[in-house]
Amino acid sequence: MLKGINPLLRGDLLKVLDQMGHGDQLLIADRNYPSYTSGKPVIEVPSTSLLEVTSAILSVFPLDSFVEHPLERMEVDQDPEKTTSVQEKLLEQVRGAGQPELTFGVIPRLEFYERAKSVFAVVHTLEAAPYSVFILRKGVIFTSN
């Protein structure tokens, strides 16, 4: 157990988050997503709430400020305007954490599976809600001189 670190951020997950560099992408998935199909490392987080896992990750993971959509979601039912409650709550979560203007990039379902082949790693949760799959692009931590 580490002081000041969310307990959902266990060894393998912390290691992957630390190894990622600027622009690397992390896929966070629900229990129905075929996480192992992409061939990328999969970190299983035994939590039924993708929102809790994402909150923990975002406590140490900066989103990229150099791209228009550092947070992307899978399109729902071939309708880019349609969202799920988990998608809406995640966007609220990110906006409330200091990025009030952020909007989702929306990726059609089949294209999402192709994009998954280029991510750094996959975080597989036990979230039951369908379409609860997201790609986060890692940003830069700026230091003051």
- Pairing assessment for the beta strands 134-137 and 25-29 based on DSSP bridges: antiparallel
H or E stretch covering 69: none
DSSP-derived 3-state class of residue 141: coil
Residue 117 phi/psi, 5-degree rounding, is -70, -15
Q: Residue 99: which H helix or E strand, with range?
A: none
Q: Which residues pair with 25 in a beta bridge?
A: 137
Residue from 22, 82, 95, 117 carrying the catalytic annotation = 22
Q: Is position 22 annotated as part of the catalytic site?
A: yes
Phi, psi of 72 (to 5 degrees): -125, 150
Q: Would you name the residues annotated as active-site residues?
A: 22
